Amino acid sequence: MHNKKLFFAVILIFLSASYLRLHLAFVNRDANDNHFKVIRIISLENRVPGKDEPECLQCYHPKLYHYLAAKAINLILEPSTDTTDEQKIISQMINALAGIVTLFIIYRFLGKLELDASSRLITFGLVALNPALIGINAQATNDTFVILFSTLALFFFWKYLNGRRTADLLLVSFSTTLAALSKGSGLLIFLGILAVFLAKIISSHQDIPGLKKYSFGILIFFFVTFSGIVAGGPYAEYYFAYGTPFVINKPVSSMPKFFTRTYEGDKTGVTSIYDAYFTFRFVDLLKHPYLNRESDPEKYTLNRMSVWTQLFARANFIQFEGTPKKWLLKPTNPIFNFGKVIFIFALVPLGIFLWGVLLATWKAVTNFWKKRMSFFSLENDWLFVFFFWMFFAFIIKFTLDYRDFVTMKPIYLFPGLLAFVYIFSLGFDTLYEKIKKSILLKYGLHGSMIILLLLYILDIAYLLEKLS
């Protein structure tokens, strides 16, 4: 009976999360960035625009999503030079469906981990109903595609390391290629998998059969993936033109000072290294539960200058960021009081996640200390720890290079979603094992998680009502 109830809960969460994505994709008419301009050029002119296309700020991106959306529009609708709601809905529905597939992969992954059923359910619920993930899945941007294909790549890579099946290896190559052809952050997945492969080969020098298998695997992966990325993406062109494959539409910022605050433009987010990376401004967040957009530095809120506070707020409350523009609310709106409640309850999973980070990192470090280099070849779950810290370093590097507050978004971490899921599930499962004999603690933990999931749903429901 207990398992039936949990299965019913999983189905309910999955259906609710799917409905929210599809409904939001149906009523939404805006996006964080104007990727629809790229889609319209491909749809109307039957050409793929380059980085220097006039009045097209998003044309620098790889264009897998834009191309598929344009072809879907041309297939379903009559040709039109006007931008219509139907065109936007089609583009957004593609992402909503991709988001639903991502959820299915995540649950498949959780099903393969040795977890208590409650841990699996709560972890899946927090991901499936996460407001930021639902929000990006309902917009016409390329973020959902890079999240989907990065998740697939890490899932099949983990399966390949555990089973050494050639089919899984080919799926890794295919998914990694599509991730990189969706967005530049997909290259991180390619480089990360390559690094894990190299660690496996170096540590397998005494195991000749293992060495041969990993050497064969990395050759196939590198040849297939690199060829696909170079052939289908703009990276080779950017490398020869600009000296780097990572090109975006913003100039690189100057390096901030450690304590002294400095400012660049009217959207400065990172004002000092201390404020950005060594603070968590929770009290200030409760005072100002919305994104401060003031151009006057004297009017900045403390939470605007803290990367970790911004990531926490944007991930848990969809009204906080106020983008796209049509989603923006006045700071006096009563819904922001609702956001304060969400932030308080969201401290629980944040604490569990940080506990999981400590556990996973400590486990990897101590096992490496015991087994030395053979650790890399004998174990596989360390790849999730590696990818977590890789994306952790990436968000620091990214926000340092581009100090605008628009770079402080959880969507830039979502391509590494599977690593975050693994770490949270480890933290939750370990904690749950310690407290499940205490009825008070057990049901207190479950209760707080259920309340947070309901708050997530109400957060999205309010946005749906506003847009409808």
What is the pLDDT at residue 2? Answer: 58
Q: Measure the CA–CA gap between 275 and 463, rounded to whole angstroms.
A: 31
Strand, helix or coil for residue 207 = coil
Encode pLDDT of 63-90 as tens digits.
Answer: 999 999 999 999 999 878 888 999 999 9
Q: Would you say residue 447 has pLDDT above 70?
A: yes
Amino acid identity of residue 238, one-letter, is Y
Residue 387 lies in a domain: yes
Q: Is this prediction's pTM over 0.85?
A: yes
- The answer to whether residue 444 is domain-embedded is yes
| pLDDT tens profile 15-60 | 999 999 999 999 999 999 999 999 999 999 999 998 889 889 999 9
Token pair in block for residue 294: 């003031």
In a domain, 323, yes or no: no
408: tokens are 């402080």
- Is 294 a domain residue? no
Would you say residue 324 has pLDDT above 60? yes
Question: What token pair was written down for 366?
Answer: 């101590």
Instruction: Name residue 372's amino acid.
Output: R
d(CA 458, CA 381): 35
Give the tens place of pLDDT for each residue, 337-383.
999 999 999 999 999 999 999 999 999 999 888 887 777 877 889 99
The residues near 23 (Cβ < 8 Å, ≥ 6 apart) are 464
Longest CA–CA span in the chain (Å) reads 67
Q: Is 257 helix (H, G, I), strand (E, B) or coil?
A: coil
> How far apart are alpha carbons 210 and 179 in whole angstroms?
28
Structural domain includes residue 351: yes
What would the two tokens of residue 260 be?
A: 């002294």
Domain of 202 in residue numbering reads as: 2-250+339-467
How far from each other are the two terminal CA atoms of the chain, in whole angstroms?
40
Express each pLDDT in 253-266 by its tens digit.
999 999 999 999 88
55 burial via Cβ count (<10 Å: 0-12, 13-18, 19+): exposed
pLDDT at 219 (0 to 100): 86
Cα distance between residue 75 and residue 86, in whole Å: 12
Structure tokens that stand for 102 in this block: 């991502």
As given in the structure block, the two tokens for residue 196 are 């894990």
- For residue 284, being part of any structural domain is answered with no
194 contacts 147 by C-beta, under 8 angstroms: no
DSSP 274: H
**Overall number of domains in the chain:** 1
Beta bridge partners of 268: 404
| Rounded (5°) CA angle 95-410-455 | 80
pLDDT of residue 215: 78
Cα 270 from chain centroid (whole Å)? 21
**Predicted local confidence at residue 387, as pLDDT:** 98
Say if 221 falls within a structural domain.
yes
Mean of pLDDT over the chain: 93
Does 260 fall in a domain?
A: no
Rounded CA-CA distance 107/95 in Å is: 19
